């Protein structure tokens, strides 16, 4: 039986230019028939497909921080969403913090199409992200009022830690185990992301779904990552590998810390060395 290897994308497999290097593509395509290779990412199905164009994906993809598990041909294996009412209540609670979120929701269970709802008032971080990363994204929907909708996949705030950490604590106090709250630094933009998910919508729960789907055991799985949303996955997998640019909290629980960073093709070098093609 082939081993399963699952890598995070941003800051792990992708270069800081948000692309897959030619070397990583070469290694992936050399090893894909000798291992099951896939990803676990905060990115959507459409963005992940764009990044990994030309790379075969024979194992399910963990998407949107773990709220969705799907195959590369859009077979939906699992999805965990927030209700419109709960999402609206969360957004309402953030008004006193003078910040509005992006709301990503699932439109269609067959096509996996999403809506990326944009609030009417954006801070500098949000404006920069939209202008530089999503200007031509067909999922964008600019709203006169941002509110919860049916099948909300995640609610995402961007801002300084001084603003988002108190909001994070407030939402945890109000909603408890009704939601999963993840606060983490965003190194590309030197800010923080606060992501609100279904309580079963994280990478660890999604990895369990992948194991059940493939009839695999955690000991047969190696995962790669760099950030706080990878920690649950690290604790579950047989082997957890951190890239050199990973956060300290991630390195502290990793089985292996690589010498290379994402910009030095750390994951590809590990795959090249550890997947036997004989």
pLDDT in tens, 75-133: 999 999 999 999 999 999 999 999 999 999 999 999 999 999 999 999 999 999 999 88
Structure-block tokens of residue 117: 């709802």
pLDDT of 260 reads 98
Number of Cβ within 10 Å of residue 216's Cβ equals: 19
Kindly state the tokens that stand for 178.
């009704």
Shortest CA distance to 214 belongs to which of 110, 69, 113, 116? 69
List, for residues 203-215, the tens digit of each pLDDT value: 999 999 999 999 9
Tell me: pLDDT of 38 over 70.
yes
pLDDT at 181: 96
Q: Quickly state the pLDDT bin for 278 (edges 50, 70, 90).
A: low
Task: Select from 86, 60, 82 the least CA-distant residue to 73.
Answer: 60
pLDDT tens digits, one per residue of 260-272: 999 999 999 999 9
pLDDT of residue 190: 87
Across 48-67, average pLDDT: 95
3-state secondary structure 46-86: HHHHHHCCCCCCCCCEEEHHHCEEECCCCCEEEECCECHHH
pLDDT of residue 134: 84
| Domains and their CATH numbers in the chain | 4-79+201-274 (3.40.50.1000), 84-197 (3.30.1240.10)
The pLDDT of residue 209 is: 97
Q: Summarize the confidence of residues 51-78 as an average pLDDT.
A: 96
């Amino acid at each position: 039986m082939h081993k399963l290897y699952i890598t995070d994308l941003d800051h792990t497999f992708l270069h800081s230019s948000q692309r897959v290097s030619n070397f990583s593509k070469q290694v992936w395509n050399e090893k894909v028939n000798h291992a099951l290779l896939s990803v676990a990412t905060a990115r959507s199905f459409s963005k992940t497909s764009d990044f990994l164009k030309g790379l075969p994906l024979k194992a399910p993809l963990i998407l949107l921080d773990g709220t969705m598990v799907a195959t590369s041909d859009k077979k939906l294996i699992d999805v965990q969403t927030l209700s419109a009412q709960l999402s609206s209540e969360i957004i309402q609670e953030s008004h006193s913090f003078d910040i509005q979120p992006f709301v990503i929701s699932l439109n269609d269970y067959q096509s996996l199409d999403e809506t990326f709802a944009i609030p009417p008032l954006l801070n500098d971080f949000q404006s920069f992200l939209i202008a530089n990363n999503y200007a031509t994204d067909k999922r964008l929907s600019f709203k006169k009022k941002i509110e919860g909708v049916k099948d909300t996949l995640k609610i995402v705030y961007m801002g300084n830690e001084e603003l988002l950490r108190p909001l994070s604590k407030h939402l945890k106090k109000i909603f408890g185990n009704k939601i999963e709250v993840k606060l983490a630094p965003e190194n590309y933009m030197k800010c923080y992301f606060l992501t609100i998910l279904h309580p079963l919508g994280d990478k660890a729960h999604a990895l369990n779904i992948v194991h059940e789907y493939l009839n695999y055991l955690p000991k047969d799985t190696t995962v790669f990552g760099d950030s706080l949303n990878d920690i649950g996955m690290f604790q579950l997998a047989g082997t957890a590998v951190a890239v050199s640019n990973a956060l300290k909290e991630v390195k502290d629980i990793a089985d292996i810390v690589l010498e290379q960073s994402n910009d030095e093709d750390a994951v590809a070098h590990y795959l090249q060395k550890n997947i036997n093609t004989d």
